[in-house]
Structure 1
Amino acid sequence: MAANAVLKARMSELGLTQDELARQMNTALQRLGGRPGDVSARTVRNLLNGTTRRPIGRSCVALEAVFGCPVADLGFSPPRTAAPPEDPVLRRTFLLAATGTAAAAIPARPLRLGQSDADRFHREYTELLRDDSRLGGTRRIENKAVELAARTQSSLASGGASDRIRRQMYRLASDVTCLAAFAAIDARAPQRARAHLDRALTLAGLARDGETMYRVWDHLMLASSQRENHAEAAAGAEVMKQSSVARRDPLYASLGYMRQANALARLHQPAESLRAMNLAEKAFGRSRNEQPSGWIAFYSPAEFDALSSYVWTALGEHARAESCLHRTLAALPDDMVRNKALFTAHLSLTQARQGEVELACATGRRSYGMLLPASGSQRTTNTLARTRQDIEATGTKAPEAVSWIEESRRWT
Structure 2
Amino acid sequence: MEATRNEVLEAWMDEHGYKSNSLAEAVNRALEQLTGRAGGLDGSSVRDWKAGRVKWPKSATRKALETVTGLPATALGFVPRGRTLSTPAAPQEDPDMKRRTLVGGIAAAAAAAPGTSIRRIGMSDVDRLQRRFAEVIASDHRYGGQLGIEQRAATLADEALNLQNAGSATQRVRSNLYACAASFRSSAMWAAIDGRRYGDAKAHMREAQALAEMSGDQAIKFRIWSHAGAMYRHIGRPGEAFAANDVARNLHITRRDPMFASLGLARQAAIHGAAQDRTGIRRTFDQAQDALQRADPDDYRPVWLLAFYDEAELHSLALSAYLALGDHPTAEFHAHRCLSTLRPHMRRSHAITTTRLAHAQLAQGDLEAATVTAMQVPTDAATQHARVSRMLQEFGAALRARAPRSSTTQTWTEHTRDAWKATT
TM-score (norm 2): 0.69
The letter of the residue matching 1:386 is E
Match of 2:208 in 1: 200
Asked if 2 retains the 8 angstrom alpha-carbon contact of 1:133 and 1:338, the reply is yes
The letter of the residue matching 2:347 is V
- The counterpart of 1:229, out of the listed 230, 237, 245, is 237
- CA distances 1:349-380 after superposition (whole Å, capped 9, x unpaired): 111111111111111111143639xx742111
Asked if 2 retains the 8 angstrom alpha-carbon contact of 1:68 and 1:208, the reply is no
> Alpha-carbon deviation of 1:70?
8.3
Distance 1:411 1:379 in 2: 17
> Alpha-carbon deviation of 1:263?
1.4
- The counterpart of 2:295, out of the listed 284, 287, 290, is 287
The letter of the residue matching 1:390 is A
- CA distances 1:244-275 after superposition (whole Å, capped 9, x unpaired): 11122111111212222221222222223322
Distance 1:135 1:239, change over 3 A: same
Number of equivalenced pairs: 314
The letter of the residue matching 2:203 is A
Distance 2:30 2:400 in 1: 55
> Alpha-carbon deviation of 1:227?
1.8
Distance 1:411 1:234, change over 3 A: farther
- CA distances 1:306-347 after superposition (whole Å, capped 9, x unpaired): 111111212222122112212222222323222211111111
Distance 2:199 2:167 in 1: 33
Asked if 2 retains the 8 angstrom alpha-carbon contact of 1:381 and 1:411, the reply is no
The answer to whether structure 1 residue 271 and structure 2 residue 279 are counterparts is: yes
- The counterpart of 1:340, out of the listed 322, 340, 350, is 350
Distance 1:110 1:137, change over 3 A: farther
Asked if 2 retains the 8 angstrom alpha-carbon contact of 1:341 and 1:370, the reply is no
Asked if 2 retains the 8 angstrom alpha-carbon contact of 1:368 and 1:381, the reply is no
The answer to whether structure 1 residue 74 and structure 2 residue 83 are counterparts is: no
- CA distances 1:118-150 after superposition (whole Å, capped 9, x unpaired): 112222222222222211111111111111110
Distance 1:265 1:327, change over 3 A: closer
Distance 2:36 2:166 in 1: 24
Distance 1:172 1:302 in 2: 27
Structure with larger RCO (C-alpha < 8 A, sep 6+): 1
- CA distances 1:375-397 after superposition (whole Å, capped 9, x unpaired): 74211111212222221221343
Distance 1:206 1:405 in 2: 52
Distance 2:146 2:246 in 1: 30
Residue 335 of structure 2: SS of its match in structure 1?
helix
- The counterpart of 2:305, out of the listed 271, 276, 296, is 296
Residue 394 of structure 2: SS of its match in structure 1?
helix
Distance 2:241 2:193 in 1: 14
Distance 1:291 1:401, change over 3 A: farther
> Alpha-carbon deviation of 1:75?
4.2
Match of 1:146 in 2: 154
Correspondence 1:305-344 to 2 at 5 A: 305-344=315-354
Asked if 1 retains the 8 angstrom alpha-carbon contact of 2:273 and 2:320, the reply is no
The answer to whether structure 1 residue 363 and structure 2 residue 325 are counterparts is: no
Asked if 1 retains the 8 angstrom alpha-carbon contact of 2:212 and 2:221, the reply is yes
Max Rg structure: 2
Distance 1:292 1:405 in 2: 48
Distance 2:33 2:301 in 1: 32
Residue 344 of structure 2: SS of its match in structure 1?
coil
- CA distances 1:265-307 after superposition (whole Å, capped 9, x unpaired): 2222222332222222222222265556212222111111111
Residue 130 of structure 2: SS of its match in structure 1?
helix
Distance 1:368 1:69 in 2: 54
The letter of the residue matching 1:114 is G
The letter of the residue matching 1:122 is Q
Distance 1:174 1:250, change over 3 A: same
Distance 1:68 1:371 in 2: 47
**Structure 2: any 5+ residue segments left out of the alignment?**
1-28, 39-114
Residue 371 of structure 1: SS of its match in structure 2?
helix
Asked if 2 retains the 8 angstrom alpha-carbon contact of 1:200 and 1:216, the reply is yes
Asked if 1 retains the 8 angstrom alpha-carbon contact of 2:121 and 2:166, the reply is no
The answer to whether structure 1 residue 170 and structure 2 residue 178 are counterparts is: yes
The letter of the residue matching 1:212 is I
**Structure 1: any 5+ residue segments left out of the alignment?**
1-66, 77-106
TM-score (norm 1): 0.71
Distance 1:71 1:333, change over 3 A: closer
Asked if 1 retains the 8 angstrom alpha-carbon contact of 2:143 and 2:381, the reply is yes
> Alpha-carbon deviation of 1:232?
0.2
- CA distances 1:170-199 after superposition (whole Å, capped 9, x unpaired): 111111111111111111112211110110
Correspondence 1:377-392 to 2 at 5 A: 377-392=385-400
> Alpha-carbon deviation of 1:409?
6.6
> Alpha-carbon deviation of 1:398?
2.1
- The counterpart of 1:251, out of the listed 259, 265, 269, is 259
The answer to whether structure 1 residue 350 and structure 2 residue 360 are counterparts is: yes
Match of 2:84 in 1: none
Correspondence 1:17-28 to 2 at 5 A: none
Correspondence 1:19-168 to 2 at 5 A: 72-75=34-37, 109-158=117-166, 160-168=168-176
Residue 367 of structure 1: SS of its match in structure 2?
coil
Residue 359 of structure 1: SS of its match in structure 2?
helix
Distance 1:163 1:324, change over 3 A: same
The letter of the residue matching 2:371 is C
Distance 1:361 1:229, change over 3 A: same
Alignment root-mean-square deviation, CA: 2.5
Distance 1:312 1:272, change over 3 A: same
Distance 2:328 2:30 in 1: 47
Distance 1:109 1:218 in 2: 38
